[in-house]
Amino acid sequence: MARIILKFKELVLKNFSLQDGGKTIGRAPGNDVVLENLLVSGHHARIDQAGGDYILTDLQSKNGTYVNGTRITTAKLKHGDQILVGKHTLVFELDAAQVSTADKDMVEATMFVQSAGVASGLLPVQTVPGVETAAGPTPVEPPGILSYLSGGKGEHELTKKLVKMGKGEEADIQIGGFLTPKVAATISKRPTGYHITPMTGRVKVKVNGTPVEGSQRLEEFDTIEIGAVVFQFYFGN
């Protein structure tokens, strides 16, 4: 079972299990991990589970999110990673069985690459965890597009890695409504595709008529409903 350990300097403050899915991190009271520090944005970052992986996403915070000293936009977390948010550190940990499985998979992948190189008359290649070897050009995925079905006109091309939707000045896609918060939802582009994540319970975010809980991967031609606005998601040319 994965967890994050909240620390201030060397003092352990609290443990948070990731068994039930993602966790939101920020200064606002509605977050799962609340950090009362002026360096922390109201909705600062989020951890989501994608299969057996855990993805950390910075929600365009003012002061940034860091993993092992490097500022990130999105990052796949590894056992022992240290996440810095403001002045607090969150240590990401897997249980012993998950760590052993991850180590085994990495060793087997390395052996396969080396064996393939020897069989083809090439020298074995030493792989470095987290660094991909060159394997020709990477296919370019077409950008995602949101097209209004009701509540607006036109369309929005999802060119940013993280798109905010709401009525605040920081929102990339403006959505009106008295109850609509500054940021009602975000759409993040990840290696596994586009994912929509509600940021508050004040306005329900629905995909194909079903309320979204946590984070959900978008499929082409999904309908997204936020308040009185309805979009259709599809891929451009």
Least reliable range by pLDDT among 34-43, 90-99, 187-196: 90-99
pLDDT at 98 over 90: no
Total-model pTM = 0.49
Cβ within 8 Å of residue 85, ≥6 positions away: 25, 35, 40, 44, 45, 61, 65, 66
What are the beta bridge partners of residue 164?
Answer: 186
Distance CA 74, CA 67 (A): 10
If pLDDT is split at 50, 70 and 90, which confidence band does 133 have? very low
Residue from 151, 140, 149 nearest 189 by CA: 140
pLDDT for 174 = 93
The percent of residues in the chain predicted with pLDDT above 70, rounded, is 80
Assess whether pLDDT exceeds 50 at residue 131: no
Instruction: Report yes or no: 183 and 168 within 8 Å, Cβ to Cβ.
Output: yes
* Distance of alpha carbon 231 from alpha carbon 229, whole angstroms: 7
Give 144-160 pLDDT, tens digit per residue.
Answer: 999 998 888 889 999 89
β-strands 23-26, 33-34 pairing: parallel
Pairing label, strands 205-207, 223-226: antiparallel
Average pLDDT over all residues of the chain: 82
Token digits of residue 194: 């586009």
Please report the pLDDT score of residue 100 as a whole number: 55
pLDDT of 115 above 90: no
115/154: higher pLDDT = 154
Highest average pLDDT, of 25-39, 101-115, 191-205, comes from 25-39
- The tens digit of pLDDT for each residue in 28-83 reads 988 999 998 889 999 999 998 877 888 899 988 989 999 999 999 888 999 999 99
Number of neighbouring beta carbons within 10 Å of residue 129: 10
Q: Is 193 helix (H, G, I), strand (E, B) or coil?
A: strand
Least confident of 22-26, 111-115, 216-220: 111-115
Q: Please give the pLDDT value at position 140.
A: 58
Q: Which H or E run includes 105?
A: helix 96-119
